[in-house]
Amino acid sequence: MTGLHCLTLMVRAGVVTHSQDWKWCGYCEIQSPPQRYAVINTAALLQLFGLTGFRQFQNIHNNRIDADLENGQLTREPGWSESIAVGHKQFVHDVQSALCIHGQHRTVQLEDDKFAFKEVQSAYTALFGCEKAALSPDNTYIWQMNS
């Protein structure tokens, strides 16, 4: 089942040992859905994976997380973690529209079988060129202590 590798950043960082221990992640919302104000659209999720029962998805999801932990699969998937929104084309464009002016200069890209809404990539050195440059008389301050 692709697209289900969802160990939290906190697991990868070593803050918690299992996603269930970090209550602010998607794992907790899938395994213990809130009665109100859910972030995850469970109906769309079931349709995406071709399932009819949410309990079935919960079991698959939990088994996948446990297998990833057991196998040491603690890497992140850049397609998900480097995007603002990932999903079908209309959903991603809706997110872009909802951001109004903040979404104008960000791009929607087709990656594998899904669309991703991302920041425009730019070189770090373009923003911080002189700060990252090698030390020279032009960017060095000599500290002189008074004796």
Q: Helix (H, G, I), strand (E, B), or coil: what is residue 110?
A: strand
pLDDT for 38 equals 84
Are 21 and 9 a contacting pair, CB within 8 Å?
no
Q: What is the residue-level pLDDT of the chain in tens, covering all 147 positions?
A: 344 445 667 787 788 888 888 888 888 889 998 888 888 888 888 888 899 999 999 999 999 888 888 888 777 777 777 788 888 888 888 888 888 887 777 888 887 778 888 876 666 555 555 555 565 666 566 666 665
End-to-end CA, the chain: 69
The token duo for 109 is 């890209």
pTM score, whole prediction? 0.55
Separation CA 21–CA 10 (nearest Å): 9
